Amino acid sequence: MADIRFGTDGWRAVIAEDFTFRNLHRVAHATAEWILEQSRTAPKIVVGYDTRFLGRSFAEYTARVLASAGIEVLLPESFVPTPAISWATREFGCAAGIVITASHNPPEYNGFKLKANFGGPLLPDGVAEVEAGIPAADDILPSPKSLDMLRGSGGIVEQDLTTGYLDCLRSRLDIDAIRSSGLRVAHDAMFGAGQGVFIELLGAGQVAALRSTHNPGFGGRSPEPIERNLGILAEAVVAEGCAAGIANDGDADRVALFDERGRFVDSHTLLALLVRYLHKEVGMSGRVVKAFSSTSIIDRMAEAYGLPVETTRIGFKYIAGHIVKGNVLVGGEESGGIAVQGHIPDRDGLYIGLLVMQMMAQRGKKLSELVEELHGEFGAQAYRRVDFHTTDTNKERILQRLRQGNGPEAIAGSSVLRVDPFDGFKHHVEGGWLLVRPSGTEPLLRVYAEAETPERAQALILDAADQLGIPVPQRD
């Protein structure tokens, strides 16, 4: 693999195919060189990992490369959620953070995420600088010293990060209110790094834990918290008499929700609920930052509440660029990655899930009632996303057609009013929109739609796919 490229959120590749120790060495070496160039004092970095196959081994090897270059490395005692690494990067004054994770990708993948010193994703300019410094595949790199030689002061230091991260959550959330409310929650860790956190904070009696064992194969499917992967959680919410169901992805920076009836609450609705709660109930203000694929309800809310709203490219690193400038109330994206004022400037699926529990406890309302309140005030919008697997040749043909302005003139009977090519190709129609864009981490095209009803959103997707010649998806 001559070229290594960072996608929407880090470098990801198939283990033993392109994600090898050799290629990891190249990326870690480039990261070390970049950190040393940026640092005026002896730098320190934290390296974490999730529950994926060989995660500990890849993290230790990364730590060895960094420590051999003269960088002090903090290495957790076990797997940890990615938000814990973001928190630790800032808490311990680190120059950067690294997480060995492929997030929601299929089990055969692993990856390399970079965190900036402020405790959020490394911003695009920094990522580009690291990427530009990756050595060629045939370059001879200095061999890292052995792990034993590097343990201890000035080398690799094993650090308990879990305790500090849990204490951080306790300090920023009203855990007592959640516990005293008696609200029971079903938590689906999807075999990922978020397992055990809800039980640790709320107690075993208040949590129905699902898929909370260490299984690097993730039960044979991607640990992505989207509705089609969470049937077991929807059933458990009803069967266990829970007030809500909460799921997190493999490294626990994303979140998904179900209400007490086992009905999916999409990330757009969640984002809007948090804006409403934090502004109207808690009295907080600030800018609302959303990704290009996020709901238009946010625009109506921002106008009603007098809050500035800003739209970014897709990828949380772009949202983080706004957060670090200050005064952001909520920043979020379609995939379930959300950050809020008063916590780390990064996605934290565990914190957001608990914040929703806090909202329910303080308001004394069911999750379905909170959603009904929101829709009563701002109207309901239905959202759909379909991931279409295709060949690189066909994907490029479709994208080239859209670049040339030869996309559909009407979709599912509605004329296309305008096309916005900001990040992908967003086709605006009466009452909604349809977006076509390539994935930043996987070989597929994503097609998104928002409309008045789920059926209408699905019709927009299917008709656009047919007109563009996108093959029927292997999974929806």
- Each domain of the chain, given as residue ranges in start order, spans 11-161, 173-263+349-360, 266-347, 382-468
Topology (CATH level 3) of domain 266-347: Alpha-D-Glucose-1,6-Bisphosphate; Chain A, domain 3 (3.40.120)
Over residues 37-52, the mean pLDDT reads 93
CA atoms within 13 A on the CB side of 14: 5
CB–CB of 434/447 below 8 Å?
yes
Beta bridge partner(s), residue 157: 74
Over residues 83-104, the mean pLDDT reads 97
pLDDT of residue 475: 46
CB–CB of 432/452 below 8 Å?
yes
pLDDT of residue 476: 42
pLDDT of residue 151: 87
Structure confidence by residue, pLDDT tens digits, 431-470: 999 999 987 656 789 999 999 999 999 999 999 999 999 8
pLDDT above 70: percentage of residues in the chain: 98
Of 223-227, 355-359, 405-409, 468-472, which range is least confident?
A: 468-472
What are the structure tokens assigned to 123, written together? 């911003």
Helix (H) or strand (E) holding 459: helix 454-468
CB–CB of 414/429 below 8 Å?
yes
Helix (H) or strand (E) holding 470: none
CB–CB of 265/257 below 8 Å?
yes
Answer yes or no: is pLDDT of 171 > 90.
yes
CB–CB of 273/371 below 8 Å?
yes
Over residues 257-266, the mean pLDDT reads 97
Q: Which CATH number fits domain 382-468: 3.40.50.720, 3.30.310.50, 3.40.50.2000, 3.40.50.10490?
A: 3.30.310.50
pLDDT of residue 440: 61
Q: Examine domains 173-263+349-360 and 266-347 and report if their fold is the same.
A: yes
Over residues 184-210, the mean pLDDT reads 98
Q: Which CATH number fits domain 173-263+349-360: 3.40.50.300, 3.40.120.10, 3.30.160.150, 1.20.1250.20?
A: 3.40.120.10
Buried b (16+ CB within 10 A) or exposed e, 328-353: bbbbbbbbbbbbbbebbbbbbbbbbb
Q: What is the mean pLDDT of the chain?
A: 94
DSSP-derived letter for residue 219 is G
Give the SS3 label for residue 281.
helix
| pTM (2 d.p.) | 0.93
CB–CB of 46/80 below 8 Å?
no
pLDDT of residue 473: 53
Topology (CATH level 3) of domain 11-161: Alpha-D-Glucose-1,6-Bisphosphate; Chain A, domain 3 (3.40.120)
pLDDT of residue 400: 94
Q: How big is the CA angle at 47 (ends 46 and 53), to the nearest 5 degrees?
A: 165
What are the structure tokens assigned to 96, written together? 């950067």
Instruction: Give the integer Cα–Cα distance in Å for 328 and 326.
Output: 6
pLDDT above 90: percentage of residues in the chain: 89
